[in-house]
Amino acid sequence: MISQEKLNKTEPGMVAVIGIPHDENSSFMKGAALAPEKIRSVMHNGASHLCAENGVDLSAEAGFIDLENMVLDGKTPATEVIESTISGLVEQGVYTISLGGDHSVTYPIVKAYAKQYGPMNIVQFDAHPDLYDVYDGNALSHACPFARIMEEQLAEHLIQVGIRTLNPHLREQVDKYAVEVIELKDWESSWIPNISGPVYLSIDLDVLDPAFAPGVSHHEPGGLTTRDIINFIQNLNTPVVGADIVELNPKRDINDMTAAVAVKLLKEIAGVMIRHNTLEL
C-alpha cells in the first residue's frame, strides 16, 4: 500500500512513479528489491536536472508525482498488493511508471491495467522472453510473467524486442501465445510497432548491452544501446498509458551507471507520457 496522504494528491491524467521493492521471484540472484531507492537517490543526487529531452521539466510539472514505494511486508501476497495498488491508481485515470523489482512485478501490474483498459498492446524490451511455463518450480518466477499474461489473455498484442535467448521451450511458447518476437539480430534502429491504441511499455534493463547496463542480474552480451531505447520512446506514435523499468540490481552496478540509465529512461518515458496525455488524450 502507499500512504493515503500521497494518494490524495493524485488526479486523473497525472503520471505517478511508484517503487516495487520486490525480488522474491528472481531465479539467479537477489538485489532488484534495492532498485527503487537507488534510482531515486541517483535521480536527486544533483548530477543532472529533471528535464526530458522533449522539454518537459519533471521538477516543475504539476502532473508528475512520486508515490514512493509500495509496502510489501509479506502479510498480504506481493502480487495482491501490487495489483490492488496499481488498480486504485489506474481506475482513477493515473498513468503509472513502476520501478521494479524483478520482472515478476509486471504480471500483477498488467492485470490491473487490463481491468481498466481491456487486453492491451504491450511492448516488452528484454534480452529474455520471460515466457517459461514454470521456472525452478515457480510459476510466478521473473522468467514467467508473460506466460501468465498471455494465458489469462491480458494482452491483445505482445511485442518483445531485443530478445537473444530463445531455446526450444521458449520458441514453443512464442508460437503457442502468438507473441511477436523481434530478435535483436533482426531488429532495426528505426523500428516502431505497428499498433494503434494505448501501449503498456515494460523495460527489462538487461535488454541493454552489459557495457551500458552492467547492474543487472543476468548479463546477456550483444544488446541494445541506451540511445536505441530512447529513440524508440521518442518516436512512438501512440500514447503510453503505463510502464515499468525492472531488473536493476544495484549490487551488480558499477558507479551507479545502470541506475543513471534507469533515471534517464524514467525521465524520457514520463516526458512522453505528459506530452502525449496533454495533447492527445
Of the candidate residues 130, 209, 253, 268, the single one contacting Mn ion (CB under 5 A)? 130
List beta partners, residue 244. Answer: 98, 202
Of the candidate residues 128, 252, 264, 276, the single one contacting Mn ion (CB under 5 A)? 128
**Could you tell me where the DSSP H helices lie in the chain?**
4-7, 35-43, 78-91, 106-117, 145-151, 168-176, 226-235, 257-280
DSSP state of 45: S
Site for Mn ion in 206-245 (CB under 5 A): 206
Q: Which amino acid appears at position 246 of this protein?
A: V
Q: Return the number of the residue (34 or 65) whose C-beta is nearest Mn ion.
A: 34
* Closest listed residue to residue 63, CA positions, set 280, 273, 279: 273
Q: Return the number of the residue (18 or 203) whose C-beta is nearest Mn ion.
A: 203
Q: Return the number of the residue (121 or 217) whose C-beta is nearest Mn ion.
A: 217
DSSP-derived 3-state class of residue 161 = strand
Find the shortest distance in angstroms from Cβ 71 to Mn ion.
24
Contact predicate 241/199, CB 8 Å: yes
Helix or strand run (H / E) with residue 5: helix 4-7
Find the shortest distance in angstroms from Cβ 166 to Mn ion.
13
Binding mask 78-117 for Mn ion (x = CB under 5 A): -------------------------x--------------
Measured from the Cβ of residue 225, the count of other Cβ atoms closer than 10 Å reads 14
268 is a site residue for Mn ion (CB under 5 A): no
Site for Mn ion in 189-208 (CB under 5 A): 204, 206
Of the candidate residues 86, 122, 127, 248, the single one contacting Mn ion (CB under 5 A)? 127
Distances (CA, A) of 8 to 68, 69, 92, 168: 14, 16, 11, 49
Find the shortest distance in angstroms from Cβ 127 to Mn ion.
5
Kindly list the residues in this chain that would bind Mn ion in the complex (CB under 5 A). Answer: 103, 126-128, 130, 204, 206
